[in-house]
A = this chain, B = another copy of it.
């Protein structure tokens, strides 16, 4: 038995659902948000703190761990769970997105997406338009963001690395196209991705107790390609389905894509949306049937001083908070809010003290994880739409930050 997934309740008149994934490492009540531990650490936090915040699973990046410290080392040391002392469910991505970030995104100058890739700015001096990644039928050849060395990821290698890491949830290898890719290119890339997914399944093999493999739906912002991809993945023996790639150019494009894809997916497999994590998106995507999410946003925003509150984000570095008493968010149960005034947190950010990044990360993750817990309860008691309406009405009050 790979992973188990049960739908425990479906919200009336909506695709939202309450579910439970059971892996070798424990239970994930869904809808759930997975904090991201790119380099085998959710930045600034210990595993104990993550558990204390209510994290049920985290996601680590195959691309980064492939380059450093390397999957052979992690395997020799007992796998990623042991390496980073994370006892619960661990998901890894395929590495495909980073190939995209290093290659096509830079080539197209897609700022938002390129900037999501932390190594981009620090990459060895290369003309920004130079194609750093080369896609072939075999896989993706790219230049390491660490030293510029040419490396290659293939479906077989991606799966092999994810197995070496010992992830509970692995993702088939895919090519992630750019929002600027043409229909023709996206169609061609999708066909290749589907061939890669079959190779990923072959590489994965059978019989991984408590571990599961997710297929990945691509197809850009093209309805027929997304339809085709969803039906293709639905017909394969994947344990879950991830939705990835270019999700259009706006939030409404993204929701449209979900509305194309999800009706084509089997109801009995968990659905993961890659790289999405803003409060509004979480509500909207849960409503459309997404079960799990991962995103660097809460932790990255935290390190930039941008903190979630029920009335929107505030930037703690603003002079307005210089002498403000009271917590970031009244009533928040996180250590930061229970212990420190806004003025102290601002001081730490202004003084560039590491403790500031920690305290902000604790708060932002607690905010998102608490929100997901409320979403789960609201699906159970059929109050999801009311929660969504009241939460977002309040949250949108202060969107400037």
Which A residues fall within an 8 A CB radius of B?
39-41, 43-48, 68-69, 73, 76-77, 83-85, 322-323, 325, 335, 339-341, 343-344, 347-348, 350-351, 353-355, 357-359
| Contact indicator A77/B325 (Cβ below 8 Å) | yes
* Neighbour of A323 across the interface among B46, B68, B77, CB < 8 A: B77
Distance A43 CA – B325 CA, assembled complex (angstroms): 22
Report B-chain residues with C-beta under 8 Å of the C-beta of A359: 46
| Contact indicator A39/B351 (Cβ below 8 Å) | yes
Shortest C-beta distance, A369 to chain B (Å), equals: 19
Q: Which residue of B lies closest to A39 (CB)?
A: B351
Q: Which residue of B lies closest to A356 (CB)?
A: B41
- Copies of this chain, count: 2
**Contact A43-B355, Cβ < 8 Å, known A69-B350, A73-B343, A77-B323:** yes
20 contacts between A and B (CB under 8 A): A39-B347, A40-B344, A41-B351, A41-B353, A41-B355, A44-B355, A46-B339, A46-B358, A68-B347, A68-B350, A68-B351, A69-B350, A77-B325, A83-B341, A83-B343, A83-B344, A84-B344, A85-B344, A354-B357, A354-B358
| Contact indicator A347/B43 (Cβ below 8 Å) | no
Shortest C-beta distance, A84 to chain B (Å), equals: 7
Distance A344 CA – B39 CA, assembled complex (angstroms): 11
Q: Which residue of B lies closest to A42 (CB)?
A: B355
| Contact indicator B39/A353 (Cβ below 8 Å) | yes
| Contact indicator A46/B341 (Cβ below 8 Å) | no
Report B-chain residues with C-beta under 8 Å of the C-beta of A85: 339-340, 344
Report B-chain residues with C-beta under 8 Å of the C-beta of A335: 46, 48
Distance A76 CA – B325 CA, assembled complex (angstroms): 10
| Contact indicator A73/B358 (Cβ below 8 Å) | no
Q: Which residue of B lies closest to A324 (CB)?
A: B77
Report B-chain residues with C-beta under 8 Å of the C-beta of A325: 77
**Contact A69-B347, Cβ < 8 Å, known A46-B335, A341-B77:** yes
Report B-chain residues with C-beta under 8 Å of the C-beta of A73: 322-323, 343
Distance A68 CA – B83 CA, assembled complex (angstroms): 39
Q: Which residue of B lies closest to A339 (CB)?
A: B85
Distance A40 CA – B344 CA, assembled complex (angstroms): 9
Interface centre among A41, A84, A340 (most CB of B within 10 A): A41
| Contact indicator A354/B43 (Cβ below 8 Å) | yes
Interface centre among A68, A69, A343 (most CB of B within 10 A): A69
Report B-chain residues with C-beta under 8 Å of the C-beta of A39: 347-348, 351, 353
* New A-B contacts (10) at CB < 8 Å, excluding given A39-B347, A68-B351, A77-B344: A41-B351, A43-B353, A43-B355, A46-B339, A47-B339, A69-B343, A69-B350, A83-B344, A354-B357, A354-B358
Distance A335 CA – B39 CA, assembled complex (angstroms): 20
Distance A340 CA – B83 CA, assembled complex (angstroms): 7
Report B-chain residues with C-beta under 8 Å of the C-beta of A41: 348, 351, 353, 355
Distance A347 CA – B64 CA, assembled complex (angstroms): 12
